[in-house]
Structure 1
């Protein structure tokens, strides 16, 4: 029998990931979302959407017009989400002459998108999400994001989100 983990009660202005729904919910966000890699701001948006799912911190999806897509190279990887459909992946490469730091850096399969999502998630078609753990910095408003533990999930942890979060060792069966 499954026993849910002891969760942190949210304080004023906080959300608990244990109050998020399953199946997940998609909602608009007007918060400023920024992604930085190798000294380059890859994305800056106030038109993001976030996916909220039980036990997961939010994942932010940004419209492609707010993303510097020239740094995103499609790769031959796909995965299937039971809720959103088939995802495609991108490697991010910021190289010499493109970066203020001067050197080239590559983040393999660090971003993904749903070109043809399920009906419930049509609003994120071709929007871009990144793993914050593979970027130099991701921000919600001006707060530096903590990445969701583990390498499978792309959640963004901020001070207004409480857990515990899926992704830590021993959480696979949640």
Structure 2
């Protein structure tokens, strides 16, 4: 029975993590889609250049959402390492996303606004998102090991001023 609870609690945690990651990703998608279409149609930039700009802006929004909401309980002692890894894996996702756009637009000649949006914001973003989810949870926003979490909590409590109990 204990093993069932453990598996169930892990699945529940994973489901919450996926839901939060998805919510942050939805906001990132809106940012990415809006900036991409503004760059292509409003500023008349090349599609891949617009895609890279849009993805870079969305990466910034996603870092804030993932760091401070989805993975807020992660190890906060190594922020520069975390940010470096986040940018590295986000960069790989950027290449996946915009590589598919470039292949579709320039390689296959599918140049309509609808084709560009499907290639970048559906196929490319979908594959890039799966990669990012795996890499962020595996390498970037790693939780503190249980022993380190207990030691951190104990040191925090030891350093805290003593609580004064109210008299009855």
TM category (shorter chain) comes to: under 0.3
Rg bigger for which structure? Answer: 2
Please identify which structure carries the higher helix content: 2
Relative to the length of structure 2, the TM-score reads 0.24
Please identify which structure carries the higher strand content: 1
Relative to the length of structure 1, the TM-score reads 0.23
